[in-house]
Amino acid sequence: MSPFKRCLRQYVEHNIHVSFAVFCLVLLTYRYAGIPADWNYLVFAFLGTIVAYSYIKNVPAQVSFKSGVFLLLQRSPWWVHIMGIISVLLVATFSVVQQIGLVFFMILSLAYILPGPAKLAPFRDYGAIKIVIVALVWSGVTVLLPLRLLHHISEKTLLLFLAQTLWIIVLTIPFEFRDSGKDVLRHPTWPQKLGPLRTKILGTVLLIICAVIHLCLSVGPEIESDLLITFWGSPFLITLCLTCFGLLMAQSNQSYWYSAFWIEAIPIAWLLMTYFY
């Protein structure tokens, strides 16, 4: 492997690439909403994503809380812990609404990796729910919290949150194809549960619903008390096309770079198109 590919692989495996994707989605929300970017929150979104993904990768499913903390300290690089401390310090600068929202999404993430009661298996036991949890956390962190609208959730805010969640679900489906060859059937992925063709059809339908929601938001009547925001425009439509192409071309024997780099690069491409198109 060439030095460039080794560096690129480290860039991906240390979760820097996915963190840039989250950073770009937050910045897109600020831009489309027409409000000044909160750089404390942007830095938190970037560092917090690195920390969250690093911790999740280092904690196996159904481990006890005590064992999970021990594994985090043992397996995670020292610089990840430093980023975690910086992230906590940045949270102290947020509004109370944002802090409450972060606690909620953190609990949702923990419900995915930590064990639950014997009669209520943890979310991770249901592989098909995995990408829904990921999408809810991503859209919450990249849409709801930057807008600070949790104290006044309007119908349009909920529609925007729903549209973003649907798009992120579709963006994540190629990872389900990648994992379908190694996940056991007790923890089925969408392709294992529905089949590859039905999964791609469902993903396409979700993208259409996402587009319709944004179209309705762009042409609907404006209410002065609401913050009118829609991602509708050429960059967004191109992003939907790229997402659909990535979905349709996904397969279980895809290359390492297909999902880990190219699919996760779509939010970055969206931001670049928005600023330079």
For the record, the structure tokens of 176 come out as: 């389900």
How confident is the prediction for the chain on average, in pLDDT? 84
Residue 150 backbone dihedrals phi, psi, to 5 degrees: -65, -25
State which residues form the domain around 22.
3-276
Predicted confidence at residue 187, as pLDDT, reads 60
pLDDT digits (tens, 9 = 90+) for 93-149: 998 888 888 988 888 877 665 554 434 444 444 556 778 888 999 999 999 899 875
> pTM value?
0.89
Contact 210, 230 (CB under 8 A): no
For CA atoms 112, 118, 120, 126, give the dihedral sign: positive
Task: Report CA Rg, the chain.
Answer: 19
Share of the chain above pLDDT 70, in %: 79
Q: In angstroms, rounded to a whole number, what is the distance separating the alpha carbons of residues 72 and 53?
A: 11
Find the distance separating the first CA and the last CA of the chain, reported in whole Å.
Answer: 35
CB 66 within 8 A of CB 30: no
* pLDDT single digits (tens) 195-251: 899 999 999 999 999 999 999 988 865 554 456 688 889 999 999 999 999 999 999
Our count of domains for the chain comes to 1
Which pLDDT value is given to residue 118? 39
Contact 168, 257 (CB under 8 A): no
- Give whole-number Cα distances, 205 to 167, 186, 258, in Å: 10, 26, 22
Task: Specify the pLDDT at position 97.
Answer: 84
pLDDT score, position 206:
97
- The count of C-alpha atoms lying within 13 angstroms of the C-alpha of 213, restricted to the half-sphere facing its C-beta, is 22
Are the C-beta atoms of residues 56 and 71 closer than 8 Å to each other?
A: no
Single out the residue of 158, 103, 114, 108 nearest to residue 133, CA to CA. Answer: 108
- Of 259, 10, 18, the C-alpha closest to 2 is 10
Per-residue pLDDT band at 267 (split at 50, 70, 90): very high
Per-residue pLDDT, averaged over 174-186, amounts to: 72
CA 132 from chain centre, in angstroms, equals 10
pLDDT for 62 beyond 60: no
CB–CB of 269/23 below 8 Å?
no
What is residue 109's predicted lDDT score, i.e. its pLDDT?
76
Q: Is the pLDDT of residue 64 over 90?
A: no
pLDDT exceeds cutoff 70 at 191 = yes
